[in-house]
Structure 1
Amino acid sequence: MNEPSGAHAADELRARAEAATTGTPYRYRWTERGFDLVVDVPLPGGRRVHTYRVALLLAGRTFTLTDVVHTHERGPLGTTRKTVETGRARYRTWSRSLDGSERHSFSSADGHRLIRGVAGELGWRELKPATQKAALVTGAFGGLVALGTLIALAIAFWP
């Protein structure tokens, strides 16, 4: 099978991602390093914009996926709060209108699946961000320390 060159493969992935978002709430945006998928998430009393930022690494046909979540919430007495989260965001929201006529739901996992599905079909694989790898190592180390502590306590207090 004849594999497309790196730049051609990236263009093909971009085109497939753009086509996959047609007729969905996701808006496709081309970027210099890859592409973004942007979706408005309904929130009661506020607004959230979730951006799935995909950076393509031509060597090895790999990509990184970063979530950027902008939230604008209105509080009591007209106060507002704006936050930006970057990294890996996993959440689900549900809402409906006061009269119950409109219902909205959103899962951040749907966008992740869309991107991974399109990329996987074309032979691209995801690289985990360094922060996620560091969290995994830290969690494993913490688990080993806890296990060692339990064993030490069991030995120390064994009748």
Structure 2
Amino acid sequence: MSDTLYARVQAAAEDTSYRLRRTGRGFDMTVDVPGLGRNTTQVHTYRVELHPRDKTFTMTDIVRTHERGAFGTSTRTVKRGRVRYRTWSRSLDGSERTSFSSADGRRLIRGAAQELGWRELRPPTGKAALVFGAIGGLTALGTLIALAVVFWP
């Protein structure tokens, strides 16, 4: 069952710059992000964990960025979770344009999964962020109400 999903995503990614690699619990789909400049490279990986018994999967973005600075310095960063962004660039003479959207890879994987009846679950980090966001929102609302009560004329 998971082999079928992998094959479907692989077929959908054919003739694109996405590369697939099997992992112990699913697969990674990786792409080099274009258009970031001469001194910056970025690799975006969509890590897909499959749960074949339930026909569910989770998807986590892993974005690795390497920036080379002056005097041989460099900075490497890694972001995990749900990372959304878009890049675009144009050559100096305007003849070549490149663009990238992190949503495109997600759509490719979701489309293939949906065709086969698979359902996406939120990764644990996404659930935690939702809980903390709700708590923060409720705290802000409570603070605003308290301020309104205290300073109401």
**TM-score normalized with structure 2 length:** 0.91
- What does residue 37 of structure 2 align with? 44
Match status 1:31 vs 2:6: no
Pick from 107, 121, 129: which aligns with 1:127?
A: 121
Q: For residues 86 and 50 of structure 1, what CA distance do their matches in structure 2 show?
A: 10
Q: Which runs of 5+ in 2 are unaligned?
A: none
Q: For residues 62 and 98 of structure 1, what CA distance do their matches in structure 2 show?
A: 45
- Which structure is richer in relative contact order (CA contacts within 8 A, separation 6 or more)? 2
Q: Which runs of 5+ in 1 are unaligned?
A: 1-8
**TM-score normalized with structure 1 length:** 0.88
Q: Equivalent residue of 1:100, what SS?
A: coil
Aligned residues: 151
Please report how far the alpha carbon of residue 66 of structure 1 lies from its aligned counterpart in structure 2 after TM superposition: 1.1
Q: For residues 124 and 48 of structure 1, what CA distance do their matches in structure 2 show?
A: 30
- What does residue 140 of structure 1 align with? 134
Please report how far the alpha carbon of residue 74 of structure 1 lies from its aligned counterpart in structure 2 after TM superposition: 1.8
Name the % identity: 68
Match status 1:111 vs 2:105: yes
Aligned CA distance change for structure 1 residues 104 and 153 (closer, same or farther; 3 Å): same
Q: Residue 38 of structure 1 aligns to which amino acid in structure 2?
A: T
Structure 1 segments, 4+ long, off by >6 Å, are none
- Larger mean CA deviation between 134-143 and 79-88 belongs to 79-88
Q: For residues 75 and 15 of structure 2, what CA distance do their matches in structure 1 show?
A: 32
Please report how far the alpha carbon of residue 124 of structure 1 lies from its aligned counterpart in structure 2 after TM superposition: 0.9
- What does residue 154 of structure 1 align with? 148
